[in-house]
Structure 1
Amino acid sequence: MLSLPESAPWIVPTVPIAVAAALRRPRTWYFWGTAFFAVIACLVQSIAATLTFLVLLACWVCVVPHTPEELRALIYDGAWLALAAIMAGPFVLAVLWGAIRLARQRFADYLALRWPSGRELARGLAMTCAFLLVWLAIAYLTGQKAPAFVINGYMSARATGWLPVYLIAMCIAAPVTEEFFVRGFLFRGWSQSFLRPTGAIVLSSAVWAAAHTQYNLFYVSEIFTIGLLLGYLRYRYGSTWLTVIIHSAINLAAVIEVALIVAYA
Structure 2
Amino acid sequence: MSTSDAENRPVPWGLWPTLGFTAIVLATYFGMQVAIAILYAIFQLAQNPNIDREAFAKSLSINGFLLSLSVIGSAPICTALTIWFAKLRKNINLKIYLGLRQATIKDYFLWLIFLALYIAITAGITNLLKISPSPFVTEIVKTAYFSPALYLAIIVIAPIFEEVLFRGFLFEGIRRSRLGSIGSILITSLLWTIIHTQYDLYFMGVLFALGILLGMARLKTGSVYLTILLHSVNNLLAVL
Scaled by the length of structure 1, the TM-score of the pair is 0.82
Q: Identify the residue that residue 98 of structure 1 maps to in structure 2.
A: 84
Note if 1:66 corresponds to 2:53.
yes
Looking at structure 2, the residues matched to 48 and 94 of structure 1 have their Cα atoms a distance apart, in angstroms, of: 14
CA contact (8 A) 2:65 2:143 kept: yes
Which of these residues, 112, 115, 118, is aligned with residue 131 of structure 1? 118
Query: Which structure 2 residues correspond to residues 107-256 of structure 1 after superposition, within 5 A?
Result: 107-157=94-144, 160=145, 162-256=146-240
The C-alpha deviation readout for 1:144-201, integer Å capped at 9, x for no partner, is: 11111110100111xx2x1011001110011001101110011110000011011100
Question: Offset of 1:205 from its aligned partner?
Answer: 0.3
Percent of paired sites with the same residue: 28
- The aligned amino acid for 1:238 is G
Which of these residues, 88, 98, 111, is aligned with residue 74 of structure 2? 88
Which of these residues, 32, 37, 58, is aligned with residue 48 of structure 1? 32
CA contact (8 A) 2:14 2:176 kept: yes
Higher relative contact order (CA 8 A, sep 6+): 2
Larger deviation, residues 216-225 vs 91-100: 91-100
Looking at structure 2, the residues matched to 130 and 212 of structure 1 have their Cα atoms a distance apart, in angstroms, of: 23
CA contact (8 A) 2:87 2:94 kept: yes
- The aligned amino acid for 1:145 is S
CA contact (8 A) 2:166 2:188 kept: yes
Question: Offset of 1:63 from its aligned partner?
Answer: 3.4
Q: How many aligned positions are there?
A: 229
Unaligned segments of structure 1, at least 5 residues: 1-23, 257-265
Question: Offset of 1:25 from its aligned partner?
Answer: 6.8
Question: Offset of 1:72 from its aligned partner?
Answer: 2.4
Scaled by the length of structure 2, the TM-score of the pair is 0.91
Looking at structure 2, the residues matched to 202 and 117 of structure 1 have their Cα atoms a distance apart, in angstroms, of: 25
CA contact (8 A) 1:85 1:174 kept: yes
4+ runs deviating over 4 angstroms: none
Larger radius of gyration: 1
Unaligned segments of structure 2, at least 5 residues: 1-7
Question: Offset of 1:94 from its aligned partner?
Answer: 2.6
